[in-house]
């Protein structure tokens, strides 16, 4: 069984490669930064994970997950996102509060627990941030997401996620009434100033193009769900 630390390295590598479009491997410094450790520390661990055949890695080279490593990484991400969903749906945590606690819960070892939790939550497809939850069979397809900057003036789209999960960011967009699965209209654009005027739940706000780039949307507005 893997240590919590080893699990965190696999997860970091998963996020840096499998969840990043057009990226198949990651460098040592990058991995170290993701985990908030020094490159020397990561270098050591990468050698160890290669021994365990969880990653492919050669001295001075880039790292990538093996099939086995990817499977294990995905299980951790699955647990993380199922717990986030639990905290949000069942315990009334807010968008920005779930991640920190899920970082701990994702390391609980019990196959049965995670299967039961999944059933209890009704086999959810997405977590509260709109991120896809990997399925038990290892099914996981990365959807390339459009950002708010891809939406034309006057169009209405649906918020499906964000690329910044910091509490500050989440609280800020919350203040603009932006939330997952909520329609959002791009009222106007000021290209010269790189500012968008948006409308959510009848409330108008101005946001920068930089911020808009962190908001993932789908073009079609979903029909209202049946009762």
Partner DNA sequence: AAGTTTTGTTAGATTAGTCTAACTTTAATA
Partner DNA sequence: TATTAAAGTTAGACTAATCTAACAAAACTT
Residue numbers of the site for Mn ion (CB under 5 A)?
84, 99, 127, 129, 131
Residue with smaller CB distance to DNA, 23 or 203: 23
Reduce the DSSP state of residue 40 to 3 states and report it.
Answer: helix
Chosen from DNA, Mn ion, a copy of itself, none, partner binding at 101 (C-beta under 5 to 8 Å by type): a copy of itself
Calculated CA dihedral for residues 110, 116, 118, 123, nearest 10 degrees: 150
Nearest to 25 by CA among 36, 41, 35, 13: 13
Count residues near a copy of itself (CB under 8 A).
Answer: 18
For residue 198, the cross-strand partners are: 186, 205
- Phi (first) and psi of residue 62, to 5 degrees: -85, 160
- What is the nearest approach in angstroms of a copy of itself to the Cβ of residue 151? 36
Q: Does 16 bind DNA (CB under 7 A)?
A: no
**170 counts as binding a copy of itself under rule CB under 8 A:** no
201 binds, among a copy of itself, DNA, Mn ion, none (CB under 5 to 8 A by kind): none
Is residue 88 near a copy of itself by the rule CB under 8 A? no
**H/E segment holding residue 158:** strand 156-162
Q: State which of positions 46-75 bind DNA (CB under 7 A).
A: 46-48, 57, 59-62
CB 62 within 8 A of CB 20: no
Q: What burial letters (b/e) apply to 152-180, b meaning 16+ CB within 10 Å?
A: eeeeebbbbbbeebeeebbeebeebebeb
Which residues does 176 contact at the CB level (< 8 Å), separation at least 6? 198, 200, 203, 205, 207
* Binding residues for a copy of itself restricted to 58-87, rule: CB under 8 A: 87
**116 near a copy of itself, judged by CB under 8 A:** yes
Is residue 97 close enough to count as binding a copy of itself by CB under 8 A?
yes
CB 51, min distance to DNA, A: 11
> Contact residues for DNA (CB under 7 A)?
3-6, 27-30, 36-48, 57, 59-62
């Amino acid at each position: 069984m893997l240590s919590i630390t080893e699990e965190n390295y696999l997860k970091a590598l998963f996020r840096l490669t499998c969840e990043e479009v057009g990226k198949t491997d990651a460098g040592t410094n990058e991995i170290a930064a993701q985990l908030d450790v020094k490159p020397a520390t990561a270098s050591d661990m990468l050698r160890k994970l290669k021994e365990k055949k969880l990653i492919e890695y050669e001295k001075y080279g880039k790292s990538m997950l093996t099939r086995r490593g990817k499977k294990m990484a995905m299980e951790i991400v699955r647990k993380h996102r199922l717990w986030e969903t639990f905290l949000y749906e069942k315990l009334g945590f807010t968008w920005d509060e779930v991640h920190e606690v899920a970082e701990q819960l994702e390391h609980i070892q019990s196959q049965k627990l995670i299967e039961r939790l999944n059933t209890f939550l009704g086999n959810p497809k997405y977590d509260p941030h709109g991120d896809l939850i990997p399925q038990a069979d290892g099914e996981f397809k990365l959807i390339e997401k459009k950002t708010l900057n891809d939406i034309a003036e006057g169009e209405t789209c649906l918020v499906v996620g964000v690329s910044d999960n910091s509490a500050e960011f989440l609280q800020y967009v919350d203040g603009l009434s932006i939330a997952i699965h909520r329609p959002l209209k791009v009222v106007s654009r000021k290209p010269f100033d790189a500012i968008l005027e948006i409308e959510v739940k009848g409330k108008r706000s101005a946001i920068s193009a930089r911020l808009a780039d962190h908001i993932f949307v789908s073009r079609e507005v979903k029909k209202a769900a049946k009762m």
